[in-house]
Chains A and B, each alone.
Chain A
Amino acid sequence: MKPAAFEYHAPDTVEEALGLLEAHGDQAKVLAGGQSLVPLMNMRLARPAVIVDINRIHALDHLTPDGDALRVGALCRQRSAERSAIVAARCPLLHAALQLVGHVQIRNRGTVVGSLAHADPAAELTAVLAALGGTVTAVGPDGTRTIPADEFFVSYLTTSLDPRELLTEARFPTLPEDAGWSWMEIARRHGDFALAGVGVVLAVRRGRIAEARIGLTGVGPTPMRAVRTERALAGRAPADALWTEAADAVREEIDPEGDIHASAEYRRHVAGVLTRRALAEACARTAKAA
């Protein structure tokens, strides 16, 4: 379990890092927490020629509220975000999902933005970003650009990031104060990647659903928003029967793959059950907030 030989760089500034990425292109990989990259390298499934370690770029280690969003820098560890009072208060869906990312030891090193960049199809944080309609910020040779979640995730482990670009931060929109939330997932063992997972945000005003957001993980090549189901919920009165209806709508909307861990039918079924439970839990939390 040793990686193939690679060249190691530890730049102190974003500009220096960009210079290295520009020089080495897709031969280089950025190292932040390394909780996905390093195991892949040790198993020699990934053999990047160059590693650009960004851990010395202290400017990227931030977690700050900014208007109606939370800015999470590329060096912010998952565990720091999980233990942050600001995240718990302003973005409880992210707080809930973070607790199920791998294990504590992984979260101590792993970064929020690193998980987004890795784009595992069963990751929690990618689905949270998708559900909330968040964005990531990339800097590259052509300057800075903001990429919405639905344009960022392209396929399995694949994003629209250029190899010469560096992700500097992610922006997670904060929840309206009266909104409820829920994160639910099923994994074979605690800490495993989810067979299916769902994040829900629900706002109920004057007895009607004013806003519903549903993000799913583990049911396709990328995290997905159940847009049609969200639309079907808008304006309706919250009720148990409606959550069951939404579960069926989500099952219609997804097209999961099967593998040795779970068949496609099982994933489809579970995604529906989780959606129903998550909507009920989110709804109960709106009531409490109101």
Chain B
Amino acid sequence: MKLEGTNTLAAPIETVWKMINDPDALRRCTPGLKELKEIEPDHYEATLNVGIAAVKGTYKGTLTISDKRAPSHYMLVLEGSGGTGFMKGVGLVDLEPQGEGTLLKWTGDMQIGGLIAGVGQRMLGGVGKMLIGQFFKCLEQHLGEDV
């Protein structure tokens, strides 16, 4: 399942770059994140409780940031599994200055398997997009606060 989108953030590219690398910002803005433990720089252990309405699952896994080209590009790999299924997602984030602000482009390729994929197929794409949208909206709200 491939997803993509763009967000315009009202802050200079350096500020946005710092924020998307800041464990506190990731912790605060990742929907359903219960725990994010830094194992080593750019490598985290994560526990997420994600889903919609009463259909929620707990996933344990890792989050790795690599291919960094400050301040404009990185790759994010998320792998996790839980009682209702497993997921593996690779996301590419690209930043470019746009006037006073920053244009953030993301593309993601997600594989979701197990029970949740079999039953929830109809809604996975839409829900995935919605959660990623929440993530960036949250980043936007916290921009310039304490980065």
Question: What residues of chain A have their CB less than 8 Å away from a CB belonging to chain B?
Answer: 29, 37, 40, 43-46, 48, 119, 121-122, 155-158, 193, 220-221, 257-261
Contact = CB atoms under 8 A, between A and B. Distances in A.
Nearest to B130: A155
B57 A45 contact: yes
B126 A46 contact: no
A278 B116 CA distance: 34
By DSSP majority rule, is chain A's interface helix, strand, loop, or mixed?
Answer: loop
B116 A45 contact: yes
Given A45-B115, A259-B125, 19 more contacts: A29-B54, A37-B54, A43-B115, A44-B83, A45-B55, A45-B119, A46-B54, A46-B56, A121-B123, A155-B52, A156-B53, A156-B127, A157-B52, A157-B123, A158-B53, A257-B129, A259-B121, A259-B122, A261-B122
A220 B124 CA distance: 12
A259 B130 contact: no
B84 interface: yes
B119 to A, nearest CB: 6
Interface in B90-128: 115-116, 119-127
8 contacts: A45-B116, A45-B119, A46-B55, A122-B122, A157-B123, A158-B53, A259-B122, A259-B124
Given A44-B83, A45-B84, A156 B123 contact: yes
Contacts of B84: 44-45
Contact of B126 (A44, A119, A193, A257): A257
A44 B116 CA distance: 10
Contacts of A193: 122
A14 B50 CA distance: 32
Contacts of B121: 259-261
A35 B130 CA distance: 26
Contacts of B52: 155-158
A217 to B, nearest CB: 12
Contacts of A157: 52-55, 123
Q: What size tier do the contact residues of chain B reach? A: 20 to 34
A158 B126 CA distance: 13
B6 to A, nearest CB: 15
A127 to B, nearest CB: 15
B132 to A, nearest CB: 13
Nearest to A155: B130
Contacts of A259: 121-122, 124-125
A156 B126 contact: yes
B3 to A, nearest CB: 10
B19 to A, nearest CB: 26
A221 B123 CA distance: 8
Contact of B55 (A40, A121, A221, A261): A40
Contacts of A258: 125
A156 B115 contact: no
Nearest to A264: B125
Contacts of A260: 121
Contacts of A29: 54
Nearest to B53: A157
Contacts of B124: 259
Contacts of B127: 156
Nearest to B84: A45
Nearest to B125: A257
Contacts of A119: 53
A79 B141 CA distance: 47
Closest 9 CB pairs of A and B: A157-B53, A46-B54, A257-B126, A257-B125, A45-B55, A156-B123, A157-B52, A156-B52, A46-B55
A260 B125 CA distance: 10
A220 B127 CA distance: 11
B130 A221 contact: yes
B120 to A, nearest CB: 8
